[in-house]
Amino acid sequence: MPDLKSYIDHLYCPKCNSIYPHEAVAHLCECGSPLLAAYDLARAKAELNKADIAGRKEDLWRYGELLPVLKEENIVSLGEGFTPLLPLQRSGEQLGVAKFFVKDEGLLPTGTFKARGAAVGVSKAKELGAGTLIMPTNGNAGAAWALYGARAGLSVKIVMPEDAPKITRSECLYGGADLYLVKGLISDCGKIAARAVAGHGWYDASTLKEPYRIEGKKTIGLEIAEQLGWNTPDVIMYPTGGGVGIIGIYKAFRELRELGWIAGEMPRFVAVQAQNCAPIVKAFNEGKNVSEFWPDSSTVAFGINVPKALGDFLVLEALYETGGTAVAVSDDEIVSGQSELCAREGLFACPEGAAVYAAAGRLRKDGWIREDDSVVMINTGAGIKYPDVRSFTPPYLPLDAELQTP
């Protein structure tokens, strides 16, 4: 772990440009927008080199200068980061794409990319003296914050739809969090959490209602660039619920360009959603800058069942600014994509990752992804967290069975 020398400078509102100090607890801007962390990149550019990073431990804290935590003693770590960027060679050949990679976020503590946001978010909450955290969640974020919260010694309260992946309940409760279930969506859970924050002054860890989770997610982008030898791919594909992943990766690449560590065109960002919960896709297709609440949403890829994202305008900005696009895939495509990806590549992705895989096939057929593009798809979690997507009935053998050649 490097000595920490964070270049964080202040927080700012991407909507109304207000400035806030980073030394105090901050949630939303007075205008209602999420806040983002700004770093003194000019000074970082003068003082910091790519080579300084190269020799460090392969976890996300190697980018400590571009993270908000000030003191090493506040780092709450379960060994997160530097997930593999794996070639998907057979799939690339099948699709006709020169370079096709998956960033496998299943290899993080708690089995999903949510660990990045939780590691940085909980560390910073601890540094800022938070006592009790509360958050609504579609399951995996709550699990991650509960476990990092346990490691930090903080009190954690989680509000979760009853349909969220069952294993995430266990993670919260094993971690000692207070877990509450709701017969509703994450948006319903969010209202309950918001009332509790208002009533008790608890630290609001809802998506984008504190500015540091996104800094954790940003490290996906930092890692991809470093893993490609400080280059970026032509296309980045992300399953999009709350959208923090896209916002974070986009922010990473912008900061790296300001540092002069990467150059050339920005990758084209692709937001992938499910057909029955596609508010960003609809807004993108209509050329709008914000999305509308998507009624009666449902999808097997539960992590992207987010009918209205607080940071929708930031996601859409990333798509527009990079010449990207937004794609909705059906649950059938997700389920069959998950099996196809696993049988071809040995990667048991979560349904959200499978959605992106399915979308890659669609975009290649359309010609939007070109033959000579390098494409990085993000698999946001491990398939083992979703045992119920497909059911199997394998055959039984008697003890004296003789196996036949098929």
Q: Which of 70, 198, 73 is nearest to 134 (CA)?
A: 198
Shortest distance in whole angstroms from residue 339 CB to its own copies: 6
170 binds its own copies (CB under 8 A): yes
Task: For residue 69, report the phi and psi dihedrals to the nearest 5 degrees.
Answer: -75, 130
Shortest distance in whole angstroms from residue 61 CB to its own copies: 11
48 binds its own copies (CB under 8 A): no
Closest to its own copies by CB, 42 vs 384, is: 384
Q: How many residues line the site for its own copies (CB under 8 A)?
A: 79
Q: DSSP secondary structure string, 79-134?
A: S-----EEE-HHHHHHHT-SEEEEEEGGGSGGGBTHHHHHHHHHHHHHHTT--EEE
A 10 A CB-CB count for 406 gives 3
A 10 A CB-CB count for 64 gives 21
Closest to its own copies by CB, 58 vs 366, is: 58
Return d(Cα 332, Cα 400) in angstroms, integer.
Answer: 39
Q: Quick one: which of 36, 41, 125, 147 contacts its own copies (CB under 8 A)?
A: 147
383 binds its own copies (CB under 8 A): yes
User: Looking at 52-60, 240-248, 276-284, 367-375, which segment touches its own copies (CB under 8 A)?
Assistant: 52-60
50 binds its own copies (CB under 8 A): no
Structure-token match 């440009």, residue found: 17
188 binds its own copies (CB under 8 A): yes
Task: For residue 198, report the phi and psi dihedrals to the nearest 5 degrees.
Answer: -65, -40
Residues 197-216 that bind its own copies (CB under 8 A): 199-200
Q: Which of 306, 288, 285, 295 is nearest to 240 (CA)?
A: 306
Closest to its own copies by CB, 293 vs 392, is: 392
Q: Which of 265, 224, 271 is nearest to 243 (CA)?
A: 271
71 binds its own copies (CB under 8 A): no
296 binds its own copies (CB under 8 A): no
194 binds its own copies (CB under 8 A): no
User: Looking at 145-153, 256-264, 285-293, 361-369, which segment touches its own copies (CB under 8 A)?
Assistant: 145-153
Residues 330-369 that bind its own copies (CB under 8 A): 338-339, 342-348
Q: Quick one: which of 77, 276, 330, 374 contacts its own copies (CB under 8 A)?
A: 77
Report which secondary-structure segment, H or E, holds 379: strand 374-379
Q: Which whole-number Å values give the CA distances from 357 to 8, 111, 273, 291, 354, in the listed order? A: 35, 19, 12, 24, 5
Q: Which of 379, 372, 380, 265 is nearest to 324 (CA)?
A: 265
Return d(Cα 276, Cα 126) in angstroms, integer.
Answer: 38
Task: For residue 175, report the phi and psi dihedrals to the nearest 5 degrees.
Answer: -75, -5
148 binds its own copies (CB under 8 A): yes
Q: Do 179 and 147 touch, CB atoms closer than 8 A?
A: no
Site string for its own copies, 104-143 (x = CB under 8 A): x-xxxxxx----------------------x---------
Site string for its own copies, 80-99 (x = CB under 8 A): --xxx-x-------------
User: Looking at 18-26, 161-169, 235-243, 325-333, which segment touches its own copies (CB under 8 A)?
Assistant: 161-169
